[in-house]
C-alpha cells in the first residue's frame, strides 16, 4: 500500500514539474523505483560507478547539463536521501528534467542550487525511508531463508555435487555434461553390518552407523577428500589426482580411530584405486546425482569387497605413487582375481 501511494506521488510530481525520468536507488546501486522502465526495478544500476552517483552516496548533491543533438538541454541530478537523525545516506534519487525552456540565468541557478521544490524533497525523504527500510527487511528475511535452505540441502547433497553446482554457476558451465578426470577413489565397507542390523533394534543400528560414518567422514575431510555418497553401510569418497598419499593416510587413520573407539565393535575394510573416470551428473530430469563412474570406480569397489576386515587394499598404481615411508607400511606385492578383469590384479595389503 505504501509503495502504491509512493508511485502516485511520483506520478503527480512528474506531471507538476515536467520531469522526464525519476529513479530511486539503494546506496549499493540496486534499483528500487524506475518511472520510465519498471522492469529495471530489482536490478543493479548500470551507471552506479559514475562520479555523480558516487558523490550522492557520500551525501553530496550532484548535477550536470546534457545537450542532445537537437539542442534540447536536460539536467541530470543525483540527490542523496538521508536519515534525519544520523544523516546517513539511505537512498539516491535521480531526476532527469528538460531545462530547455529556461533561460541561461535560470539554468545556471539550477545547476548551482538544484532548485527542486523543498516540500517534494521532504515528503520523498520520509516515504523513501519507509520503502528502503521495508525493502531491506524483506531482502534480509529472504537472504536468511535462502541460507537456511542451502545449509539444509547441503546435508543431502554430496560435497562433489555442491562443488560442481557452484562451479557451473560461477563459471557459466554446463552442469550436466560428463567429462573424464583422473582421480583417486576410496571405498570403505563395514564388515558384518548386515547381519548385525538384522539382530539389533533399528534405532541402535542407525546410531552406530552414523557414528562410524562420522568418524570416517571427518578424517576423509581432514585429508582433503570429499564424500561422494553413502550406500548402505559403505562410503565412497573421491580425492583429486595426486592425492594418493592423502587417501592412504585417511584409510590408516580411520582403521586406528575405529579400533581405538570403545563404543564401536565393528570393523571396516577399505579399497583404494586411482585412474581415469567419467565424472558428471547422472539420473533423470527430476532426480540427479553428481558422481563418478567407470572401470576405476568399479575396481576400487572390488578391492574394498575383497579386503580383509580391519585392513586396507591399495592397487599397484596407488602403491607406486606413494612416498617410501608409506610404501613401507604395506606387505609385498600380491595379486587378486577381480570380477571383470581377465588378468590377475596387483594389490598391496597393509601390514598387520
pLDDT of residue 253: 95
Strand 311-315 to 268-283 pairing: parallel
Boundary (domain end) residue, out of 97, 112, 130: 130
Note whether 196 and 318 are same-domain residues. yes
Same domain membership, residue 309 and residue 244:
yes
Domain carrying residue 291: 178-349
Give me the residue label for grid cell 543431502.
156
Task: Indicate the Cα dihedral angle 210, 214, 220, 223, nearest 10°.
Answer: 180
Cα dihedral across residues 102, 106, 111, 117: positive or negative: negative
pTM score: 0.55
| Rounded mean pLDDT, 238-264 | 92
For residue 197, give the CATH number of its domain: 3.30.70.1230
**74 shares its domain with 214:** no
- The answer to whether position 72 is within a domain reads yes
CATH at 31? 3.30.450.20
Q: Could you identify the residue written with the cell 545449509?
A: 151
Q: Is the pLDDT of residue 254 over 90?
A: yes
Torsion on CA atoms 86, 90, 96, 99, rounded to nearest 10 = 0
Residues 122 and 183 in one domain: no
For range 238-248, the mean pLDDT: 93
- Which pLDDT belongs to residue 151? 58
- In the listed set 99, 130, 161, which residue is the last one of a domain according to the structure? 130
83/224 same-domain check: no
Mean pLDDT score, 211-219: 93
Pair (185, 102) in one structural domain: no
pLDDT recorded at residue 118: 60
Do 331 and 227 share a structural domain? yes
* Helix segments in 201-264, DSSP class H: 202-222, 244-260
* pLDDT tens per residue, range 139-195: 666 666 655 655 555 554 455 555 655 565 555 665 556 788 899 999 999 998 888
Higher-confidence residue: 98 or 28?
A: 28
Q: How far apart are CA 351 and CA 338, in angstroms?
A: 21
Residue 319's pLDDT is what? Answer: 94
pLDDT tens per residue, range 109-147: 555 555 556 656 656 666 667 776 676 676 666 666 655
What digits encode the pLDDT tens for the residues 46-91? Answer: 888 888 888 888 888 888 877 766 677 777 888 888 877 778 888 8
Band (pLDDT 50/70/90 cuts) for residue 103 is very low
For the CA atoms of 345, 242, 252, 222, the dihedral, rounded to the nearest 10 degrees, stands at -150
Q: Which pLDDT belongs to residue 34?
A: 83
The DSSP H or E segment spanning 109 is helix 104-113
Q: Are 83 and 207 in a shared domain? A: no
Provide the number of structural domains found in the chain: 2
Share of the chain above pLDDT 90, in %: 24
- Asked whether residue 50 is domain-assigned, the answer is yes
Q: Is residue 165 part of a domain?
A: no
Q: Measure the CA–CA gap between 352 and 335, rounded to whole angstroms.
A: 18
pLDDT digits (tens, 9 = 90+) for 271-303: 999 999 988 777 777 776 778 889 999 999 999
Hey, which residues does 334 pair with through a beta bridge? 347
Q: How many residues does the chain have?
A: 352
Do 193 and 62 belong to one domain? no
> How confident is the prediction for the chain on average, in pLDDT?
79
Amino acid at each position: 500500500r505504501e509503495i502504491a501511494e509512493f508511485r502516485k506521488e511520483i506520478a503527480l510530481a512528474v506531471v507538476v514539474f515536467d520531469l522526464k525520468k525519476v529513479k530511486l536507488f539503494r546506496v549499493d546501486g540496486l534499483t528500487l523505483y524506475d518511472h520510465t522502465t519498471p522492469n529495471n526495478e530489482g536490478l543493479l544500476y548500470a551507471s552506479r560507478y559514475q562520479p555523480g552517483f558516487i558523490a550522492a552516496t557520500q551525501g553530496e548533491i550532484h548535477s550536470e547539463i546534457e545537450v542532445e543533438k537537437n539542442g534540447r538541454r536536460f539536467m541530470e541530478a543525483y540527490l542523496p536521501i538521508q536519515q534525519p537523525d544520523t544523516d546517513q545516506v539511505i537512498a539516491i534519487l535521480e531526476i532527469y528534467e528538460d531545462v530547455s525552456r529556461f533561460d541561461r540565468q535560470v539554468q545556471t541557478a539550477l545547476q548551482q542550487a538544484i532548485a527542486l521544490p523543498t516540500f517534494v524533497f521532504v515528503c520523498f525523504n520520509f516515504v523513501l525511508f519507509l520503502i528502503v527500510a521495508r525493502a531491506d527487511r524483506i531482502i534480509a528475511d529472504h537472504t536468511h531463508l535462502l541460507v537456511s535452505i542451502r545449509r539444509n540441502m547441503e546435508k543431502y547433497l554430496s560435497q562433489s555435487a555442491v562443488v560442481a553446482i557452484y562451479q557451473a554457476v560461477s563459471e557459466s558451465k554446463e552442469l550436466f555434461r560428463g567429462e573424464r578426470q583422473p582421480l583417486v577413489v576410496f571405498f570403505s565397507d563395514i564388515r558384518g553390518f548386515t547381519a548385525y542390523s538384522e539382530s539389533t533394534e533399528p534405532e541402535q543400528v542407525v546410531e552406530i552407523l552414523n557414528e562410524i560414518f562420522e568418524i570416517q567422514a571427518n578424517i576423509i575431510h581432514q585429508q582433503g577428500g570429499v564424500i561422494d555418497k553413502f550406500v548402505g553401510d559403505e562410503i565412497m569418497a573421491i580425492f583429486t589426482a595426486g592425492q594418493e598419499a592423502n587417501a592412504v593416510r585417511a584409510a590408516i587413520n580411520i582403521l586406528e580411530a575405529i579400533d581405538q573407539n570403545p563404543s564401536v565393535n565393528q570393523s571396516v575394510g577399505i579399497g583404494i584405486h586411482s585412474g581415469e573416470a567419467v565424472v558428471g551428473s547422472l539420473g533423470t530430469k527430476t532426480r540427479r546425482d553428481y558422481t563418478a563412474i567407470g572401470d576405476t570406480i568399479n575396481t576400487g569397489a572390488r578391492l574394498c569387497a575383497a579386503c580383509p576386515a580391519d585392513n586396507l587394499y591399495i592397487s599397484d598404481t596407488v602403491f607406486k605413487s606413494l612416498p617410501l615411508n608409506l610404501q613401507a607400511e604395506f606387505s609385498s606385492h600380491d595379486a587378486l582375481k577381480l570380477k571383470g578383469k581377465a588378468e590377475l590384479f596387483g594389490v598391496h595389503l597393509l601390514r598387520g
